Amino acid sequence: MSDITYPYLPSGRTILYVPESDAFIQEARAYAKEHSLDDTVQTGSVIVKDGEIIGRGANGTDYHKTHECERVKRGIPTGQHYELCEGCHPNNHSEPRAIADALKNGHKTLGTDLYLWGHWWCCEPCWNAIIKAGIENVYLLKDSEKLFNKAHPNNTVSKQFADVE
């Protein structure tokens, strides 16, 4: 997997991959399906400590339903200037929401793992939150760089739950 070029990856960090059968990636998937408010790219994250899920988060807000996306209007590429649009703001990403959920429920996130369904990389603000929280590993679905990459011709964006509808 080292041949993947991510839009952002902090120095010294790696992304690990799990098969679709992995129980934690399935939990992240189920949470995204049930709770994501993004119509196109539904993401879900779970934080795991000692084999138990301690935090869950999904992306999105209803902002884009009533307002135009400022980033789209300006033609800003994915992963850049999320702060310009309330609907795209990093506070609405699944990773920080899962961290906030774990902390709200009294769990410490130091040394935990994060499983992310629905995306093929983590943006800089999310990596910053992951690192600050002391999360050790980030796991994505195997082949996510194809499945969830809008630029890949065989992506499943907007169709990622078609097999369970």
Rounded CA-CA distance 77/85 in Å is 13
Is the pLDDT higher at 123 or at 78?
123
Is the pLDDT higher at 72 or at 110?
110
Rounded CA-CA distance 111/26 in Å is 21
List the end-to-end C-alpha distance of the chain, in Å, as a whole number: 30
Q: CA 34, 38, 78 angle in degrees (round to 5)?
A: 135
Read off the pTM. Answer: 0.91
Residue pointed to by tokens 């949470």: 31
Q: Which pair of structure tokens corresponds to residue 106?
A: 């009294």
Q: Which residues, 6+ apart, have CB-to-CB distance to 163 below 8 Å?
A: none
